[in-house]
Structure 1
Amino acid sequence: MSREDAAARAAPRPAKVSVLMPTYRQAHFLPRAVGSLLDQTFQDWELIVVDDGSPDDTADVVAQWDDPRIKYHRLDRNEGLGFALGFALRAAVGAYVAYLPSDDHYDPHHLANAVAMLDGEPDCYACYGGLRWWTTNASKPFRVRVTSASLRGDDVVGAEEQALLDLTEPLLSDDVRNGNVFALVQVVHRRDHEAAVTWPTRSEIVSDGLERDYWREFARRGARFRYTGEVSCEWGDHPDQRHKIIGGRGAVHPTDPTGRGFGLARYRQFYGIESGLALNWRAGFWGLPHDQRKRYGPLHATGSRRPAVAADEPLRILVVGELGFNPERILALVEAGHSVRGSWITRTQAWQTVGPLPFPGVEDIPFDGDWTRRVREYAPHFIYALLNWQALSTIGRVLDEVPDIPMVFHFKEGPHLVAEMGLWPVMVKVLRHSAGVVFINQECREFFERSTKGCVDADRVLILDGDLPKANWMTDDWSPKLSALDGEPHTVCVGRIRVEGRNFLEPMPVLEKAGVHVHVYGETYQKWSRDWIETGRGSRFLHLHPNVEPVDWVRELSKYDAAWPHVHESSNEGDLRRAHWDDLNLPARLGTYAVAGLPWIVRNNSGHRVAVQSLAERHGLGVVFDDIDDLAERLWDTTGMDGLTERARAARPQFSFDDQLPVLINFCRRVVEMGPR
């Protein structure tokens, strides 16, 4: 044997299969996952572990395996699944690529089955083993383990490319809500399309459909997928799975009714997204799309709509809870010269916003073992606690932890859910011990006055909506009214049409008969209200539009004559103890309509107490109607509508957080100076 031949034989040969393992905060799962790889009957593999900036002991756990096939790479900070997979793929040397997320695991023959198929069938680009996984749907109150060829069941076998290219819309009740067909752990594939098909990074998109879209790109290029014929892996199941953090679940375990929360806020918290970094959010079929770059970019570019006003005595304010639909309003505090820190709830829902915030100016004090010391060190003048029932437990704990720091409690919704969720004792405690309480309307104030005893002190109460938009969006970029062009009334709805079986708009066929156009914004809201939408499908009076960002609210929405809040018939007969939440609520969309200078369409509930109607009548901007004929007559009255529009535009400062901020700050100063209750 020549010296050259001996050197070549002694040189390490590249592994046949590169197994990619992205991992983040899952050191506790690593022994199961890596152990399942070590137990494979096929041993010609390498494992590329990409630690995506984990704050746990992932490095120490991986170091326990003294195996040269295991290659560990640590990223300085969390970069996201797409970046981690791309990094691992660039480091891989194998002819085939497999995936082993650290919370999944293989059966012993998984790689052997895949390699045999890829070696034996040159026209097969990707193969997949069947999987065991846990699921729930509306008919099964507990999670059950199932086995199937794919996340869509067994029907995809033999029709894989069609299943990938012709995405079936998942049901709202489905456990996998992104339409994915194959979990990462199932698939082993060749590398021919690697240059053309790449994993998108977080700077491009955040989606729970990364895998779905990656496989689809293979299929678009003619790649053939084949089933190995055997269930050979398990897709892990726990609340911190990435697809659940992003898209939630259709049905959850009764012992975990919120699924630990999900959505954009939960994602930012879990992955430690830095404050000020805006994301392009796309959460499955049923999630609310939200490109933070478009929404908050104008704030970065232009700053405040008006010069910052120096506070007489700048305050240190600790915001506790969550910020709802219009989180950027909190910047008005910073622009006014105050210091703001945030401590946020962790079990968020998709529409809620918490830190790390996508815009700069608010530093977080997270709830950890050092929270109390850091709060004491910050020494806030007061705690501004808000906003909805989901934050109440956290607010109550803060009140117990630092009772000497004055708290101003700003509560929006909803009183009945507080009781339903077993939080009424916490609500009573917070009302009784807060230095000041801000209710969103007089009706809510009276509701709590009648429902509690000694908790609502008239000298320590302010009335102010809790989710007002920022003044930046209140431009003068008015558009001509569509009704001036075609002579027919045009109305608009931004938000949900249907909730829990209740429609917030009149039936579309009735509106069509009355000659009233309806423009509905937001693809996801349209999906949620499909039954209502279908009643008007094909009508020239129903118009469906994509979501509109705040920077375009005036230009896009001011061309309509009036807007739909939550239209309902009250039955409280003036007794607020009998009030339903629809009677007490001020929907967040009212702020959007106020920005665009739009009158509100309000059913006449005279003889009852309804907050939206009271507010609309106070500002003279309500299209208050008795029945559909009355509504049509009012909308067709161009002179009357011109007057309502004029008053709606004049009232805009009443619905701007910036303009109302001096009222809020003066109230907070006053109740803090009053001392403890």
Structure 2
Amino acid sequence: MSGPRVAVVVPVHDQSAWLPRALDGLLAQTVTDWEAVVVDDGSPAPEAVAAVVAGLPDARVRLLARADNRGLGATLNTGLDATGAPVVAYLPADDVWAPDHLGALLGCLADPEVVLARSGLSEPSDTQYAQLVQVAHRRTAHRWTERAELEADDLDRLFWHRLAGSGRTADTGRVTCTWTRHAGQRSRAIRESTDGGLNVFRSRYRVAQPLRFASTDSGDVDEVARYARFRDRTYPEPDGLSVLLVGELAFNPERVLTLRERGHRLTGLWTPDGLGDSTVGPLPFGHVPDLDRDTWRDGVAAPAPDVVWAQLNWRAVPFAHAVRSAFPDVPFVWHFKEAPQRSMVRGEWPLLADLVTGADACLLATAEERDWFAGALRGRVDPARLGVLDGDLPKRDWLDAPRSARLSDADGQPHTVVVGRPAGLDAEWLVELARRGVHTHLYGRVRAPGPTGSWTGWLDEALAAAPGHVHVHPAVGPESWVTELSRYDAGWLHRLPSDNDGELRRASWDDLNSPARLPVCLAAGLPLLQPDHPGQLVSVARALREDGTGLFYDSADGVADVLAGELATRAGARAALAVRERYTFDAHADRLVELFGSLAR
């Protein structure tokens, strides 16, 4: 008797509630000569998955489970290894097949030149790559990419592209499966446009190692290479303060190692509700052990913290408040950056106000943000307990990279750079700059869909209208800031309006903020292009004027004029190089430790 024709691999992680629906569709298939293996990739409640499989009256379905999460690639490879049928199909636990699904796919694979068959989806996935649920393929020697090499939402990169050399792809022309949209999808945890991202993924799957990570929204990040210098470094035996980090670290998370270098012990306790670019543990550079987020109330006693250092942005507010409430007797420093207005919109202003007023000390990003809180909480907060320290300044290590020759030294034209979101820019503006000979280089998530990518449409318009003057580049990491960005003459800050008329109570977050790209550009020795808003209170404009690092403009002609002056004198570049050390976290670490020591029990 011949074996089954189709091996069905059913990956599951924390989706036991969906699994019966998926298996019901499998058992209803008109094609019956299949084998199936449910591979549980470290679900937090494995007994629930086991109960679903045990309740099936069908020996064709087996369960393989492991205690730790190893990722989609390893899960699917486990399924391949555990089966032997010549055709492989995939049924994620949260998806569904119609009864004729396998039959339609096998019909395509009857053509010996077809290696991969693909059905239609009841609801389009809006991705360029095929989803697992819609595919069956011939068994080959190829393997899925595993976590140590890459985690990505793009299944072409993880496997499908490998089959291209073995034959062609065929569509069934029929809709026979459902790809289910829901908050727990793996792809949503990866993509920033669906409130995911690297750190959402890290937190959900409790990934302990640094990641090589790719999102179709934002490109590739290699934490293995980026943080090797810190992981491999030897730090002194801790004999100083025990500091409990609470919340999330946002950008430049390696800055906290400045305390580890000074002999202080760090322990992490991270919010379960962070953003994709808000760093949480396990930290990819090591040297900071974590408390278990499920048992942290009991676990805090182990590190015996001298001080809680809670931070940094609005998504951390509820969790930081919970920790403060649970341990009111432990000295507590609330380090907050962005943004009180966001907490108000979310209905969390009372929690944020409690943190600012109840903390033993509160650090804000700018003097203007400090003064804003002092006014907004007048009578509730002692202004003497409010300090200023931008919470996501980078570590000084990144400044030591070599500088590059400027592009303008070769062509005589000004070259400007945007690092991250091109806030306030549009096609008309870039075209006007191009007409004046100004180049604009855009780095990072400039083609991201969703709320962070509303500029995608105008970017193509700008590229078409100003060829040779609008340039798009991949995201640049801190290891390359100096070498890559020093090729340019100036960096763009946000081109946004201000209409507070100098009145702090009317200030928006953009008025109070110190943008994360400011220290990035200064690290490369770049002055900053900033709109000139006479009579308005704008924190970053004040800082630029004090440092001599601002190039202020009120029009495209104004941009061309200030850049011409900068190319002639390089005064802004000299000022940037003179102050860039001050815009590193290391420059303020001793002051921070002194504060912690003054509060420690």
- For 1:52, give the aligned amino acid: D
Could you tell me whether the CA contact under 8 Å between 1:206 and 1:279 is conserved in 2? yes
- 2:564 corresponds to which of 636, 643, 649: 636
Cross-structure match for 1:262: 196
Cα-to-partner distance string for 1:480-530 (whole Å, 9 max, x where unaligned):
3333333332222111113xxx33899112222333222222254587333
The alpha-carbon distance between structure 1 residues 267 and 545, as it changes in their structure 2 partners (threshold 3 A), is same
1:300 partnered with 2:300: no
Q: Distance in 2 between matches of 1:184 and 1:55?
A: 23
Could you tell me whether the CA contact under 8 Å between 1:14 and 1:94 is conserved in 2? yes
The alpha-carbon distance between structure 1 residues 130 and 519, as it changes in their structure 2 partners (threshold 3 A), is closer
Cross-structure match for 1:51: 40
The worse-fitting range, judged by mean Cα deviation, of 104-113 and 339-348 is 104-113
Cα-to-partner distance string for 1:53-76 (whole Å, 9 max, x where unaligned):
333213454344464423332345
Q: Distance in 1 between matches of 2:427 and 2:589?
A: 33
Cross-structure match for 1:661: 589
- 2:189 corresponds to which of 224, 233, 245: 245
Cross-structure match for 2:576: 648
The alpha-carbon distance between structure 1 residues 506 and 446, as it changes in their structure 2 partners (threshold 3 A), is farther
Q: Distance in 2 between matches of 1:27 and 1:419?
A: 36
Q: Distance in 2 between matches of 1:114 and 1:568?
A: 53
- 1:179 corresponds to which of 86, 105, 128: 128
Could you tell me whether the CA contact under 8 Å between 2:214 and 2:220 is conserved in 1? yes
1:604 partnered with 2:553: no
Q: Distance in 2 between matches of 1:203 and 1:441?
A: 40
The worse-fitting range, judged by mean Cα deviation, of 208-217 and 397-406 is 208-217
Cross-structure match for 2:215: 283
Instruction: State the SS of the aligned residue for 2:343.
Output: helix
- 1:318 corresponds to which of 225, 230, 244: 244
The alpha-carbon distance between structure 1 residues 365 and 111, as it changes in their structure 2 partners (threshold 3 A), is same
Could you tell me whether the CA contact under 8 Å between 1:562 and 1:599 is conserved in 2? yes
Q: Distance in 1 between matches of 2:463 and 2:309?
A: 45
1:401 partnered with 2:345: no
Cross-structure match for 2:148: 203
- 2:434 corresponds to which of 512, 530, 533: 512
Instruction: State the SS of the aligned residue for 1:405.
Output: coil
- 1:227 corresponds to which of 166, 169, 172: 172
Cross-structure match for 2:73: 82
Could you tell me whether the CA contact under 8 Å between 1:15 and 1:94 is conserved in 2? yes
Instruction: State the SS of the aligned residue for 1:503.
Output: coil
Aligned residues: 593
Q: Report deviation, 1:610.
A: 0.5
- 2:180 corresponds to which of 236, 239, 242: 236
- For 1:345, give the aligned amino acid: T
Taking only aligned residues, the RMSD between alpha carbons, in angstroms, comes to 2.7
Cα-to-partner distance string for 1:288-324 (whole Å, 9 max, x where unaligned):
53222232233335x38xxx6888x611111111111
Q: What are the equivalent positions in structure 2 for 1:665-676 lying under 5 Å apart?
A: 665-672=593-600
- 1:366 corresponds to which of 277, 292, 303: 292
Cα-to-partner distance string for 1:214-256 (whole Å, 9 max, x where unaligned):
4444356442413164x43333343111111112556xxxxxx
- For 1:227, give the aligned amino acid: T
Cα-to-partner distance string for 1:267-299 (whole Å, 9 max, x where unaligned):
11121211xx22121112x23532222322333
1:459 partnered with 2:384: yes
Q: Distance in 2 between matches of 1:234 and 1:636?
A: 58
1:616 partnered with 2:544: yes
- 2:93 corresponds to which of 89, 98, 102: 102
Q: Distance in 2 between matches of 1:642 and 1:505?
A: 28
- For 2:346, give the aligned amino acid: M
Cα-to-partner distance string for 1:397-428 (whole Å, 9 max, x where unaligned):
22222212221111111122121111111121
Could you tell me whether the CA contact under 8 Å between 1:177 and 1:248 is conserved in 2? no
The alpha-carbon distance between structure 1 residues 504 and 292, as it changes in their structure 2 partners (threshold 3 A), is farther
Could you tell me whether the CA contact under 8 Å between 1:50 and 1:88 is conserved in 2? yes
TM-score by length of 2: 0.91
The alpha-carbon distance between structure 1 residues 594 and 64, as it changes in their structure 2 partners (threshold 3 A), is same
Q: Report deviation, 1:360.
A: 0.6
Cross-structure match for 1:567: 495
1:27 partnered with 2:16: yes
1:555 partnered with 2:483: yes
The alpha-carbon distance between structure 1 residues 462 and 310, as it changes in their structure 2 partners (threshold 3 A), is farther
Cross-structure match for 1:3: none
The alpha-carbon distance between structure 1 residues 666 and 88, as it changes in their structure 2 partners (threshold 3 A), is same
Q: Report deviation, 1:666.
A: 1.2
Could you tell me whether the CA contact under 8 Å between 1:526 and 1:533 is conserved in 2? no
The alpha-carbon distance between structure 1 residues 366 and 650, as it changes in their structure 2 partners (threshold 3 A), is same
Q: Report deviation, 1:613.
A: 0.8
Instruction: State the SS of the aligned residue for 1:22.
Output: strand
- For 1:247, give the aligned amino acid: R
Instruction: State the SS of the aligned residue for 1:282.
Output: strand
The alpha-carbon distance between structure 1 residues 508 and 669, as it changes in their structure 2 partners (threshold 3 A), is same
Instruction: State the SS of the aligned residue for 1:364.
Output: coil
Q: Distance in 1 between matches of 2:459 and 2:35?
A: 54
Could you tell me whether the CA contact under 8 Å between 2:529 and 2:551 is conserved in 1? yes
Q: Distance in 2 between matches of 1:217 and 1:639?
A: 49
Could you tell me whether the CA contact under 8 Å between 1:21 and 1:50 is conserved in 2? yes
- For 1:183, give the aligned amino acid: Q
The alpha-carbon distance between structure 1 residues 292 and 601, as it changes in their structure 2 partners (threshold 3 A), is same
The alpha-carbon distance between structure 1 residues 386 and 525, as it changes in their structure 2 partners (threshold 3 A), is farther
Q: Distance in 1 between matches of 2:483 and 2:560?
A: 25
TM-score by length of 1: 0.81
Cross-structure match for 1:257: none
User: Sequence identity, in percent?
Assistant: 37
Cross-structure match for 2:61: 70
- For 1:513, give the aligned amino acid: R
Could you tell me whether the CA contact under 8 Å between 1:177 and 1:249 is conserved in 2? no
Instruction: State the SS of the aligned residue for 1:651.
Output: helix
Could you tell me whether the CA contact under 8 Å between 1:508 and 1:536 is conserved in 2? no
Q: Distance in 2 between matches of 1:317 and 1:339?
A: 6
Which structure has the larger Rg? Answer: 1
Q: Distance in 1 between matches of 2:497 and 2:169?
A: 57
Instruction: State the SS of the aligned residue for 2:400.
Output: coil
Cα-to-partner distance string for 1:624-672 (whole Å, 9 max, x where unaligned):
2344434323322257742322221121221111121111121232345
- For 1:209, give the aligned amino acid: D
Q: What are the equivalent positions in structure 2 for 1:103-142 lying under 5 Å apart?
A: 103-115=94-106, 118-119=109-110, 121-133=111-123
Could you tell me whether the CA contact under 8 Å between 2:427 and 2:461 is conserved in 1? no
The alpha-carbon distance between structure 1 residues 228 and 441, as it changes in their structure 2 partners (threshold 3 A), is closer
Q: Distance in 1 between matches of 2:520 and 2:428?
A: 20
Instruction: State the SS of the aligned residue for 2:147.
Output: coil
Q: What are the equivalent positions in structure 2 for 1:586-597 lying under 5 Å apart?
A: 586-597=514-525
- 1:428 corresponds to which of 353, 375, 387: 353
